[in-house]
Amino acid sequence: MREYLKFYIDGQWVDPIGSGTVDLVNPATEEVSGKIALGSEADVDKAVKAARAAFASYSQTSRDERLALLKAIKSEYEKRLPELAEAITEEMGAPASLASSFHTFLGTGHLDTAIAVLEKFAFEEKHGDTLIMKEPIGVCGLITPWNWPINQVTVKVFPALAAGCTVVLKPPQLAAYSAQILAEILDAAGVPKGVFNMVQGKGSVIGTALSTHPDVDMISFTGSESVGVQISKDAADTVKRVCLELGGKSPYILLDDDGLAERVAAATSGMMVNSGQTCSAGSRLIVPQARMAEAKAAAAGAAEAVTVGNPAGNAAMGPVVSKDQFDTVQAYINKGIEEGAELVAGGPGLPEGLDKGYFVRPTVFATTNDKVVAREEIFGPVLVMIGYDDLDDAVAIANDTDFGLAGYVDGNDQDKCREVARKIRAGAIYVNGGFDFNAPFGGYKRSGNGREWGEHGFAEYLETKAIIG
């Protein structure tokens, strides 16, 4: 049993000002795995005051001083990799193989990227008689989700620290363990007091207190569209910068090429990674209508081959994060059946052989783009297949969505793939499996605003000053 009943504020582990705790449940066993303290507005105010006081000196540190700090963090981070992976498996059900590889690898990658960007970033540029300066924006409230817990924390914390900002982190209530370990890492690395602060608790309390606090200069939030909208409204009264990474219903276009069945299988298996709990997941697989039968057979085979079970064992897919999330995904699967979508694989209920845990059957529908399961973000292992007549039709289907976070294009002709990618209205398009820590990540339309990852993510934490004459 884990018990994390203190907050990290002003360089110390302190007792909460407010009272109350909450039990956390292991989603694979449905048993209580630990307890965290619930913070209050007073705890947030204490953390913000510490961050504001620390900003005066930390914002004036040199590039070399911040590089030394980030490298010290990396040394401590690498020591705790096994513990981070175990915490991620326990808190949100990621298979051990995934938690110890891609989950923790993303944290390392964001740290290395922050170091690389800081080493070369031009904080001052001359334009004629004007000096253009980039300065840290100030105190940043960082609000993160549970689905990729270390990724979402580190993609905010590390560039903010590299830029010279001070932060107050509100980690996800459902994935509190890995955030606690990360705070211990930062403490061990010698982060100056007040530069990094963490308050656990409910989003409705801690997130609202950060969004409305007059001494918070910026909010960076990753999560649902509805919460992002509320944060924007709350932050408006104090004219904060707000960076939002919200939901997605990302298209995955497959060209009409040899190897279609293999690409369908790979896209289907990819959708089931992390139990489908990925905002940028290619959840709408857009395939040639003339080859739909072939595509359905390939998707069914791939979905049925995904092993579901104990995330501490050898299963490829663990549970979804909570009972509420399980119920939501089940409701969408039943909605798809009610709407008349063709059930290609999976369906409602627990996978065969499992009688407890929040496990979902890897599910595939074949339907049209007007159905609820094709339009709303399900956030579970549910893939929707949609047929297209030609590539113009495929692009039209891809763009017929309220979201615009990501997209995927696969095919034998790289130039044709890039031509299709240019036409998709989304912030990040992955062509034939591309991946880059320096590529900006963020959404069009209702998928948010602002960018994370690489130099663009670093720039979110900077203000622009012109010294003229």
137-176 pLDDT, tens per residue?
Answer: 999 999 999 999 999 999 999 999 999 999 999 999 999 9
- Please answer whether residues 406 and 379 qualify as being in contact, where contact means their C-beta atoms are separated by less than 8 angstroms: no
* Alpha-carbon span 257 to 30, nearest angstrom: 45
Give residue-wise pLDDT tens across range 366-401: 999 999 999 999 999 999 999 999 999 999 999 999
Q: Of 46, 54, 37, nearest to 3 (Cα)?
A: 37
- Please answer whether residues 461 and 417 qualify as being in contact, where contact means their C-beta atoms are separated by less than 8 angstroms: no
* Alpha-carbon span 321 to 317, nearest angstrom: 12
Q: Which residues neighbour 56 within 8 Å (Cβ) at sequence distance 6 or greater?
A: none
The number of helix segments (H) and strand segments (E) in the chain equals: 16, 23
Whole-number pLDDT of residue 18? 79
DSSP state of 100: I
* Alpha-carbon span 176 to 90, nearest angstrom: 10
Q: Structural domains in the chain? A: 2-246+447-468 (3.40.605.10), 251-436 (3.40.309.10)
Quote the distance between the C-alpha of residue 147 and its chain's center.
6
Give residue-wise pLDDT tens across range 211-269: 999 999 999 999 999 999 999 999 999 999 999 999 999 999 999 999 999 999 999 99
* Alpha-carbon span 291 to 346, nearest angstrom: 21
Backbone angles phi, psi at 334, to 5 degrees: -65, -35
Give residue-wise pLDDT tens across range 182-198: 999 999 999 999 999 99
C-alpha torsion 421→459→176→147, nearest 10: 0
* Alpha-carbon span 151 to 262, nearest angstrom: 29
Whole-number pLDDT of residue 213? 98
* Alpha-carbon span 374 to 342, nearest angstrom: 12
DSSP string, 36-52: EEPP-HHHHHHHHHHHH
Q: How far apart, in Å, do the first and last CA atoms of the chain sit?
A: 62
Bridge partners, 142 (sequence order)? 169, 220
Q: What is the mean pLDDT of residues 262-283?
A: 98
Whole-number pLDDT of residue 87? 98
pLDDT beyond 90 at 293 = yes
- Please answer whether residues 308 and 351 qualify as being in contact, where contact means their C-beta atoms are separated by less than 8 angstroms: yes
Active site positions, annotated:
245, 279
pLDDT beyond 90 at 88 = yes
Give me the amino acid identity at 431: V
Task: Return mean pLDDT, the chain.
Answer: 98
pLDDT beyond 90 at 306 = yes
Strands of the sheet with 251-254, listed across from one edge: 342-345, 363-366, 382-388, 284-288, 251-254, 406-410, 428-431
Whole-number pLDDT of residue 19? 82
- Please answer whether residues 261 and 296 qualify as being in contact, where contact means their C-beta atoms are separated by less than 8 angstroms: no
Structure tokens at 67: 């590089």
Does the predicted TM-score (pTM) go above 0.75?
A: yes
Q: Of 229, 295, 239, nearest to 267 (Cα)?
A: 295
**SS3 assignment, position 2:** strand
Whole-number pLDDT of residue 274? 98
C-alpha torsion 65→70→75→76, nearest 10: 110
358 burial level (CB within 10 Å; 0-12, 13-18, 19+): buried
- Please answer whether residues 353 and 345 qualify as being in contact, where contact means their C-beta atoms are separated by less than 8 angstroms: no
- Please answer whether residues 118 and 176 qualify as being in contact, where contact means their C-beta atoms are separated by less than 8 angstroms: no
Give residue-wise pLDDT tens across range 11-63: 999 999 978 999 999 999 999 999 999 999 999 999 999 999 999 999 999 99
* Alpha-carbon span 162 to 59, nearest angstrom: 10
* Alpha-carbon span 13 to 10, nearest angstrom: 8
Q: Of 289, 290, 285, 296, nearest to 261 (Cα)?
A: 296
